[in-house]
Amino acid sequence: MRRSMLGRLAVAACSLSLLTAFAPAAVAQADGGGHDRSYKKVGYFTQWGVYGRDFQVQDLEANGSAGKLTHINYAFGNVSPQGRCFTGNVPGEADAWADYVRPLDAANSVDGVADTGEQPLAGNFNQLRELKAEHPGLKVLISLGGWSWSTHFSDAALTPASRKAFVESCIDLYIKGNLPQDGARGGAGAAAGVFDGIDLDWEWPGSAGDTDTTYRPEDKQNFTALVKEFRTQLDAYARSQKKKTKYELSAFVPTAPAKIDAGFDVRRIMRDLDFVTLQGYDFHVSGEPRTAQQSALRARGDFSVDGTVDAWLRRGAPANKLVMGMPFYGQGWTGVSGGGDGMGQPATGPAPATWAAGYEDYKALKKLADSGAYTIHRDRRGGHAWLFDGTTLWTYDDPQVLRAKTGYIREHGLGGAMFWSLDADTADGELMTAVDRGLRGR
């Protein structure tokens, strides 16, 4: 996935997805069978969202989401051509300014205190540290790769030596917090304690991803070995620090069975991963010539959440390690012809939108729904919704859809919910609240 999500929108759903994320939960809740259990509630915070969207870490406190989340996945960390985790200020490749250099004023700080010029850690990393201080059970994971930044994953995972060096570099940068010096910012241990684990968002081992992403037939066995190397080094570092809880390790994984089989030795990787987050969106995208659902719970003869869960279960994944991905955005088409409710009809192209054609945040789609200009349509059996005004169609998840999906999680004993991305929710955290209540059975 990319730092912004623009390029993915024109690619067929079977070859893409958004990132992702993972996490263990902190609150006991009741499942459909009446048993007490915990659910992961994993939200992506985008590095670049602090710019145009002006969505700051502090907004998670303001809209009430911070107290409902169990995990935040920070998107993204990049992999260099040399197969190392790195940061810096390189347009399109790394943004240390957003990560840990940029000063926040009091109004935009979680603790209400402005950053100073002398402190070694500022930016998003410092705000995440402050958020964790307010919510001690909250975990923060660095998500590595994504659609755009999976370019060099295959090279990094190619040999035992390259895997060892890659993992060492990621632990040094993000877990030990040894940041490059940037003026007064950074230095040895500057970000220590910010991150509680690592998410592997390699899209995709063994099959095509973004246009410049390398992939090889041996990626499947190399990904398995890479997961083992991360698990081994993270556990060793935790022991050296006499840490009472382990560092967490997860991966974002695809919907398409062909991609699962090409890149994932499911039974073996699940031994070392704490959980995986399932692609639960982008089943169809606005670059396609006909309108279609992008995140249906069930869809006969098509990609769906239920089909994805079943594919992973049949290959040996434990249900309680599967975390369902949910979109906080919609895919849209314009020039829709053919009449009816607009679904499954020809379209002339992606719909105009705020940030990228064919892609719109839920908070904007809610305004369209509330305006009366669009009709809300629902496939209650399929578990998905869309807006249509006779010309433009948006397929998306609203609170009613999310209630159905959280019910499915409880009924099937899954590990919880993940969502892309937190900056797309409303100012009062409407979708986050729906997921939280749904997982509590309310």
Share the mean pLDDT of the chain.
93
Is residue 379 in a domain?
A: no
What is the mean pLDDT of the segment spanning 162-182? 98
Is residue 361 in a domain?
A: no
Distance CA(296)–CA(294), nearest Å, equals 6
Is residue 296 in a domain?
A: yes
Confidence category of residue 1, pLDDT binned at 50, 70, 90: very low
Distance CA(39)–CA(118), nearest Å, equals 40
Report the number of distinct structural domains present in the chain: 1
**What is the span of the domain harbouring residue 269?**
6-328+398-439
- pLDDT for 336-388, tens place per residue? 999 999 999 999 999 999 999 999 999 999 999 999 999 999 999 999 999 99
CA neighbor of 186 nearest in space, from 197, 198, 178: 178
- Count Cβ atoms within 10 A of the Cβ of residue 355 and give its class: 0-12 exposed, 13-18 middle, 19 or more buried: middle
What is the mean pLDDT of the segment spanning 326-345? 98
pLDDT at residue 26, as a whole number: 34
- pLDDT for 109-150, tens place per residue? 999 999 999 999 999 999 999 999 999 999 999 999 999 999
Report which DSSP code applies to 351: P
Which residues does the annotation mark as catalytic? 203
Is residue 388 in a domain?
A: no
Residue 290 belongs to a domain with what CATH number?
3.20.20.80
| pLDDT exceeds 60 at position 289 | yes
- Tokens 């370019």 belong to 151
Is residue 226 in a domain?
A: yes
Complete DSSP assignment for 263-295: H--HHHHHHH-SEEEE--S-SS-TTSSB---SS
Is residue 45 in a domain?
A: yes
Confidence category of residue 37, pLDDT binned at 50, 70, 90: low
Is residue 349 in a domain?
A: no
> What are the beta bridge partners of residue 179?
187
Is residue 381 in a domain?
A: no
Helices (H), 102-194: 123-134, 153-156, 160-170
